[in-house]
Structure 1
Amino acid sequence: MEKTTSQKIRLGLFVIIGLLIFVLATYLIGDKQKMFGKTSHLETIFDNVNGLQIGNNVRYSGVNVGTVRGIEMINDTNIKVDMIIDKDIFKHIKKDAVATIGSDGLVGSMIINILPGKGTQSPVEPGDKISSVNRIRTDDLLNTLNKTNNNAARLTENLLIITEEINDGKGTVGLLLNDAEIAKDLKETMRYLKISGRETANATKNLNRLLESMNNKDNVIGVLNDKAVANSIKTIVSNLDNSTVEINKVVTNLNKTILNIKDGKGALNYLSNDPKLVNKIDSTMTNVTESSAKLNENLEALKHNFLFRGYFRRLEREKRKEQKK
């Protein structure tokens, strides 16, 4: 059965439309994968790609700038990821930029986020390798969350046991909450503590007043704080020390003299222990007294003698002159 012209036209239109759709889809996919633009390669190393696949997006500061071109296992701890980046973006990416793996939304595919560095270094060149940071994986986060939930469950269980014991009046807290006598004693203790605190505050105030009064020169401690008084006291103490030394010397000499007297040495012992010498001294002193009296009489007689009268008168005149001067 031969096809009509209209059917052929319809078939041709369908083929043309299909080709247009194919070309448009190829262009869109190629543009998304940076297949038709000017791109260059950029590499990084991860120890875990967390499900990253070829064709996933690469973002710089939240903007899609490329795609993942290749994933190569170097060893058991290093995985090289090859990215194709738009050449126009290379001048904005510095060499201290950091690559991380994240997810596109909560349930989206994995993507590579390039975080800007401090901006102090030069831009990267095609084929350069930037550093990477491995974020916490979802599995690790879930494991940690599971442990946290288990600990929270244990804590809740223990807290429930403690609360039941407190309600039953067990333990110190239970006694405090349920025993009226202990509560009364505790209240009384707190009252005494308040009183003690008040008395302590008053004592502290009085002590502060006493310390402040020490600087007042009208009392004894204030006088002692005066530098002039302190210097005078130091001088007096120094003089007392010197006097004490001299007194000690005198006492030492006096002790030696007393010891000599006790031992029969020296004139004092001889005078005090020899009665004959004492009698001789007494008689000598008596004779000296009598001789002195007779000498005075003789001098008086000489004054009235005509031979010596002029001499004594001259002495009296000279004596009066001296007194007048």
Structure 2
Amino acid sequence: MKKTTSQKLQLGIFVIIGLLLFILAVYFIGDKKQMFGKTNHLSAVFNNVNGLQLGNNVRFSGINVGTVRGIEMVNDTAIRVDMLIDKTIFPLIRKNAVATIGSDGLVGNMIINILPGKVSAASILPGDQIASINRIRTEDMLITLDKTNKNAALLTTDLLKITKEINQGTGTVGLLIKDSTLAGDLRQTMHYLKITGKGSSESILKLNRIISSLENKNNVIGVLKDTAVANSIKSVVQNLKQSSSQINNVIGNLDTTVVNIKGGKGAINYLSNDPQLVRKIDSTMDNIKESSFRLNENLEALKHNFLFRGYFRKQEKAKLKEQKTEEKQK
């Protein structure tokens, strides 16, 4: 059966529309995946990519700026991820930026988030490698949550046992709750503790007042705390110490002298114990006194002697002259 011209025309239009739709789909998908724009390479190294695949999005501050173009296993603890980033975004990404792997929503595809660095740092260059942070995986969170649930179950079981014992009145807590007598005794004890605490507070206040009064310089302790008084007391003690040492030396010398006197040594013992010597000394002193009196008489006699009269007159004139000179000088 031959096709009519209208059928051929409809088929051609359908093919053209389908081809246009396919081209538009490829264009939009490619534009979204940065397949036709101007891009540069950027890389990061992770310990675990958490299911990241080729073609997943790369976001910078929440905006899609590129896609994952390569995942390479460097060693057993490092995986290198190559990214295609829009050239217009490169000046905004700093060298201290950090890459992390997350999910697009709760159950979405894995994506790479680039966290902005400090503005003071320089911009990255094509082919640079930025630092990375490995976040907690969902599996690790589920394992931790499972352990937490098990611990919570054990804690709930123990708590049920404790509450059951309390309700039955067993144990210390149950006894306190169920036994009214013990509760009354405890209330009375708390009352006595309150009275004791009040008395202790008053005693502490009085003690604080006493300690504060010790700072007053009018008190004995306050005076002793004065540095000037302390220095004076220290000086007096040192002087007393020196005086005591000197007194000890004098007492020692006196003891020696007394011992010598008692032992019959020295002139004092001889004078005190020999009465004849005392009488001789008295007689000698009387003779000296009498001789002095007679010598004065002889000198008076010489003054009246004509041989020595001129000499004594000259002596008197010289004395008078000296007296006049002294009076003039005064």
User: Bigger CA drift: 15-24 or 260-269?
Assistant: 260-269
Q: Partners in 2 of 1:41 and 1:126 — Cα distance?
A: 6
Per-residue deviation at 1:12? 1.9
- Cα deviation, 1:100-136, whole Å, max 9, x if unaligned, reads 2111111111111122222333322333332322211
TM-score (norm 1): 0.72
1:91-110 equivalent positions in 2, closer than 5 A? 91-110=91-110
C-alpha contact 1:96 1:119 (8 A) present in aligned 2: no
C-alpha contact 2:103 2:111 (8 A) present in aligned 1: yes
Ranges of 4+ aligned residues in structure 1 off by more than 6 Å = 261-272
SS at match of 1:2: coil
1:28-107 equivalent positions in 2, closer than 5 A? 28-107=28-107
Q: Partners in 2 of 1:64 and 1:97 — Cα distance?
A: 16
Aligned: 1:156 with 2:149: no
| Aligned residue number for residue 146 of structure 1 | 146
Unaligned runs of 5+ in 1: 300-325
User: Bigger CA drift: 119-128 or 138-147?
Assistant: 119-128
| Aligned residue number for residue 175 of structure 2 | 175
SS at match of 1:36: coil
Q: Counterpart of 1:86 in structure 2: which amino acid?
A: D
Q: Partners in 2 of 1:63 and 1:33 — Cα distance?
A: 13
Per-residue deviation at 1:20? 1.6
Per-residue deviation at 1:235? 5.2
Q: Between the two proteins, what is the percent identity of the paired residues? A: 63
Q: Partners in 2 of 1:30 and 1:237 — Cα distance?
A: 104
Q: Counterpart of 1:99 in structure 2: which amino acid?
A: A
Q: Counterpart of 1:32 in structure 2: which amino acid?
A: K
Aligned residues: 289
Aligned: 1:135 with 2:135: yes
User: Bigger CA drift: 16-25 or 203-212?
Assistant: 203-212
| Aligned residue number for residue 189 of structure 2 | 189
Per-residue deviation at 1:88? 1.6
Change (3 A) 1:257 1:173: farther
TM-score (norm 2): 0.71
SS at match of 1:143: helix
Change (3 A) 1:125 1:263: same
Q: Partners in 2 of 1:60 and 1:229 — Cα distance?
A: 78
Q: Partners in 1 of 2:131 and 2:219 — Cα distance?
A: 79
C-alpha contact 1:34 1:84 (8 A) present in aligned 2: yes
Q: Partners in 2 of 1:62 and 1:82 — Cα distance?
A: 19
Per-residue deviation at 1:159? 2.3
Change (3 A) 1:197 1:269: farther
Q: Partners in 2 of 1:89 and 1:53 — Cα distance?
A: 22
SS at match of 2:96: coil
Per-residue deviation at 1:230? 4.9
Per-residue deviation at 1:140? 1.1
User: Bigger CA drift: 212-221 or 69-78?
Assistant: 212-221
Aligned: 1:7 with 2:7: yes
SS at match of 1:74: strand
1:113-128 equivalent positions in 2, closer than 5 A? 113-128=113-128
Aligned: 1:210 with 2:215: no
Question: What is the root-mean-square deviation in Å for CA atoms of aligned residues?
Answer: 3.7
